Chain A
Amino acid sequence: MTGTAHLVFAVLALLALVLIINLVRLQALKAKYSVLWLTVGALLAVAAAVPGVLDWVADQVGVAYQPALFLLLGFGFLLLLAMHFSYELSRLETRVRTLAEELALLHHELDDQQD
């Protein structure tokens, strides 16, 4: 990586980290997600700040082309995240449905009492 590109990525990673920390600080992210994103932010920051670290990791696991490792990890992470969200969505939908049913039943009970 050239010096300029390195700087740009370091700044971007720093911005991402600041954004994540800010969201966590404002409690806009649930605690369980904050741990996840803080980890990601920290990893990004380390990768951007220490130029040789990605090369070193790639070397250790036997990947010749370092960007491939980065993309593979990123893709795997996003895939897991999407699956996790699908799971959470399914659970939420079940709960919302049950709540809607409860609401309709309570509403009906209320109407009955007012008559």
Chain B
Amino acid sequence: MRTAVVMPAFNEAEALPGVLAELAEAVPDHEVIVVDDGSSDGTAGVAAAAGVTCLRLPFNLGIGGALRLGFRYAADEGFDRAYQFDADGQHDPSQIATLLAGLEHADMVVGTRFTTGDAGDPGSGEGAYRVGRSRNLAMGVLRWLVRRATGHRFTDTSSGFRALRRPVLELFATDYPVEYMDSVEALLLAVRHGFTVIEVPVRMRERRGGRPSNRNLRLAYHFVRVLIVLTAGLGRRNRLGVVV
């Protein structure tokens, strides 16, 4: 079974070598695909020096665009499964096995920072992850809406630590949402295409390099945009006759 690691990287030259080294040690048989999202700090060179596949976008497309390219490449190259892994060191290689084990029971697995899963109060327990208050509120509203839209209770809709099997990979290769807050939309996309999506609790770390990609105004704008997607998209059909 061939496993692809899709890793979008925007100006992550500082953190990337460490992350790649850790991955090479933890999962040597997984093939890393770095998608350089128009970096200006030599991220592509760092990836090339580490000997991993690097796709260079001519300009910044945002995380969703970079992910879609990575999935497209993985699908074209015939990978059986893939998982997303952050280039900033936020994800812990020791948790990959946990994530991939989930694929035995589902088409897509989301690693949640909140350990409680389907049973109530998020934010406590071993993997507890601290987030700001307004962000927490926004995430709460999203959780609730996603639950209304999908019928599933996801605790961490914005988690970027996700694994997918081939059928989902093929869907994401062409249809992965490219706007900011892609993770929420991707969740809906997979569920609405009839794929089973589950969450597994994982530990995450503080990011090592780069900057958090959230500006408040931008966050607010895209929050509203996702609300519209969540409500307007319900029951609508696209040209292919597939509920999206």
Note all chain B residues with C-beta closer than 8 A to A107: 55-56
The answer to whether A104 touches B65 (Cβ under 8 A) is no
- A25 close to chain B: CB less than 8 A: no
- A108 close to chain B: CB less than 8 A: yes
Complex: A30 Cα to B86 Cα, angstroms? 44
Interface residues of B: mostly helix, strand, loop or mixed? mixed
- B57 close to chain A: CB less than 8 A: yes
B-binding segment of A36-44, A67-75, A95-103: A95-103
- A53 close to chain B: CB less than 8 A: no
- A19 close to chain B: CB less than 8 A: no
A-binding segment of B66-74, B118-126, B128-136: B66-74
Interface residues on A, range: under 10
Which of B53, B54, B65 touches A100 (beta carbons < 8 Å)?
A: B65
Complex: A107 Cα to B61 Cα, angstroms? 17
The answer to whether A101 touches B68 (Cβ under 8 A) is yes
Complex: A49 Cα to B55 Cα, angstroms? 60
Check A100/B178 contact, CB under 8 A, given A105-B73, A108-B53.
no
A-B CB pair tally, cutoff 8 Å = 33
The answer to whether B54 touches A101 (Cβ under 8 A) is no
The answer to whether A103 touches B73 (Cβ under 8 A) is no
The answer to whether A100 touches B58 (Cβ under 8 A) is yes
Encoded as 1 (CB less than 8 Å from any A CB) or 0, chain B from 46 to 68 comes to 00000001111111010001001
Q: Name the distance in Å between B92's Cβ and chain A's nearest Cβ.
A: 28
Note all chain A residues with C-beta closer than 8 A to B53: 108
Q: Which of A59-115 contact B (CB under 8 A)?
A: 97, 100-101, 103-105, 107-108
A selection of 17 A-B contacts at a CB cut-off of 8 Å is A97-B61, A97-B65, A100-B57, A100-B59, A100-B65, A101-B57, A101-B65, A101-B68, A101-B72, A103-B57, A104-B55, A104-B56, A104-B58, A105-B72, A105-B76, A107-B56, A108-B54
